[in-house]
Amino acid sequence: MIKISNLHFRYNKRQAPVISGIDLEILPGNIYGLLGENGVGKTTLLRLMCGLLFPNSGTCTVFGMESRKRFPDMLEKIYYLPEVLSIPTMNIIDYGKTYGKLYPNFNTEQFLYYLEKFNIDLKKKMKNLSHGQQKKSLIAFSLACNTPLLFLDEPTNGLDIPSKSIFRQLLAESINDSRSIVISTHQVLDLENLIDPIIILEFNQILLNNTVAEISEKLKFTLQEQAPPSALYSEQTLGGFLSVEPNNDNSNTKINIELLFNAAISNKDFFKQTFIKE
């Protein structure tokens, strides 16, 4: 679906590169979690994949087409929902009728179902909805477009707890073998049981792009009275020390994504040597 090779990007010549020589592949049938600290280039990478930014060098192909060329055949197969929303003056039903035409697989019945699940007021103009309602309206539209590629930038920001639960349900319902969803998020607990594979982006490099199964094979996540000497990262809690360790004894443990992320940031060389395939 997407293949990125030796990609470089900077916003201007006086600034340091935001993306420098990264390689990445997005395959169908997955919900990718794109994680990283503030300012490492997560949104920039999403916009490069969508053709909203153009690389300085290297290649980014989407369905075999260069993203920078923005061919209509490519654009009708992708949808990007940014973190900062542009809200129109029309109501959400008119919005669907107007912009759904741009996407061949847009499904009105699904759209109405998603809006009902989110309890959206269909009569109000979108600009008069609360921020959370605006976000849920556009999430509903993005899912109903049924594009093979869907990019969501911080989709759970602004959602209350019940809405986050509904979002997870709808996301799980919408994935299939011919579709992939890429989610950039800081709210990893909101999506912990959905995202697989997990991508961790660090300044100018990718530290991790692996499935949950591959991560579990190499690492184990434990709770012990004391932090083990082999721990890559530990956090003290009321129940003891949560730790990430090399999985040298073939343990089968549940991944804690927050611990995984902190371990990766603290042990960049280990993660590159362990997970990045040359």
Q: Say whether pLDDT at 264 is over 60.
A: yes
Which ranges constitute the DSSP H helices of 5-149?
Answer: 42-50, 72-75, 92-99, 108-117, 131-144
Residues 264 and 172 in one domain: no
Residues 214-236: what's their mean pLDDT?
A: 93
Position 193 confidence tier, pLDDT thresholds 50, 70, 90: confident
- Parent domain of 58: 2-209
Residues 59 and 197 in one domain: yes
Q: Which residues have C-beta within 8 Å of that of residue 165, sequence separation ≥ 6?
A: none
Residues 96 and 195 in one domain: yes
Max intra-chain CA distance, the chain: 60
Number of domains in the chain: 2
Of 209, 239, 254, which residue is a domain's last? 209
Residues 196 and 219 in one domain: no
Position 277 confidence tier, pLDDT thresholds 50, 70, 90: low
Q: What's the pLDDT score for residue 278?
A: 53
Please state whether the predicted TM-score (pTM) of the whole model is above 0.85: yes
Q: What's the pLDDT score for residue 204?
A: 75
DSSP 8-state assignment for residue 16: P
Q: What percent of the chain has pLDDT over 70?
A: 99
Position 90 confidence tier, pLDDT thresholds 50, 70, 90: very high
Of 181, 209, 237, which residue is a domain's last? 209
How many angstroms separate the Cα of 173 from the Cα of each of 18, 58, 142, 207?
34, 35, 14, 30
